Amino acid sequence: MDTYRELCLGVPKEYESIRANAHRFAKEVMRPAAIELDRMADPKDVIAPDSPLRQVLKKAYGLGYHVAGLPVAIGGLGLDPLGSHILHEELAWGSVDLSIAIGVAGFPAMIAATSGNPDLYETFVKPYVEDREAAIIGCWAITEPNHGSDHLMVGTPEFHDPKVKGEVVARADGDSYVIKGQKAAWVSNGTIATHAALYLRIDSESPHAAAGMSGGGIAVVPLNLPGVSKGKPLNKMGQRALNQGEIFFENVRIPRHYMVVNSDSYEQHTMATLTMANGGMSTAFTGLARAAYEAALDYSKERIQGGRPICEHQLVQKRLFEMFTKVEACRALSRAVTVYNSSSGMPSLQHAIAAKTFCTQASFEVASDALQIFGGNGLSKEYPVEKLFRDARASLIEDGTNEVLSLAGARHILAEADGHGHA
């Protein structure tokens, strides 16, 4: 049962067609593929050339979902923030892990597009926009073996602590940068990616160099360059259709202009990226929460206990209504934050963090309640709800643990309360 009801009466009518098409793709293509990929014991099979993962990505690119928010003039779908939210909630309803893979695929191209450099546009942006075969797949290479949530404490004193430094380092060498170091196994699309939006530390001996994590940069790096190697795909509890794995850089040389963001603008750019990423996570797990709620609602009408469907029992009714409320709250908050932060000249990181932490926690609770309604069947792999539960659990950790993100959000709130403006 599709329980979606559009409460915003001002939504353009054409968005219903967009949602309907995305819902059909999510139901008929993404969800069956995600279930098949989830059941593969070896993650290497997930990324095989003939894998359903490759087929889903190719079909998604064919529909232009990888460039949904880009202007029609350059080959995108031209969706505004509201339209993008509607689209991505539907894709995540079908499969949150595959929807994240599609979303992350565009990170390098988006980073290159912010540079305003025509050469970078021709080299990285244009080929990605024109790709309809999923030949170009990006990754967001930020997490490191000893630095996960450290990277996300933007705007806090900890971000400037000189004792906390990134492990992937770029050293200037004439017209090039030479990169050395390792990214951790949690890089989404890591072992299938052709390009990386690489977050790194820029080596500098200047006494005025930015300290700690703030002394970073962002480079767009083709992953077929000499010195790049990849680890094996990660074997995970949940989100198994989302490929993740290590990337190693051993004296990898890139042209100097591939360093799109340097230390002067790194903190500001990272804050903007985290605002976008947190909003995206809130949207995705709104979709998962709705999928879990709908699965439980349908099952409650079919399962007979005490001589009648369990949906007629009051405790089940109360649980269903609480799940419904959380789904609607997730959509309202994630949508409001996404639209505001994509349209405002002063995006709010604390609101984006609030959306991410609230929606992921709510999705986990809804998935847990759905599993409870399924009872013993909820523990069986014959039913999709146990996958939703495992997928939701990962969200409390990925893209920054909810606890650390909450601390970062609190620092921004306090900075504003102390009169320092937008942190």
Domains of the chain: 14-105+112-130 (1.10.540.10), 138-264 (2.40.110.10), 267-417 (1.20.140.10)
The separation between CA 267 and the C-alpha centre of its own chain, rounded to angstroms, equals: 20
Which residue, chain included where needed, has tokens 């009408």?
301
Using an 8 Å Cβ cutoff, are 365 and 326 in contact?
yes
Tell me which residues of the chain have a pLDDT lower than 70: 205-210, 420-423
Burial class (CB in 10 A: 0-12, 13-18, 19+), 64: middle
For residue 206, the model assigns a pLDDT of 47
* pLDDT at residue 274, rounded to an integer: 87
pLDDT score of 156: 74
Q: Are strands 228-230 and 259-261 parallel, antiparallel or unpaired?
A: unpaired
What is the structure's pLDDT at 134? 98
Return the pLDDT at 412: 87
| Cα–Cα distances in angstroms (integers) from residue 35 to residues 20, 28, 239, 391, in the given order | 22, 12, 10, 12
Q: For the whole prediction, is pTM greater than 0.85?
A: yes
CA 274 remoteness from chain centre: 10
pLDDT at 209: 56
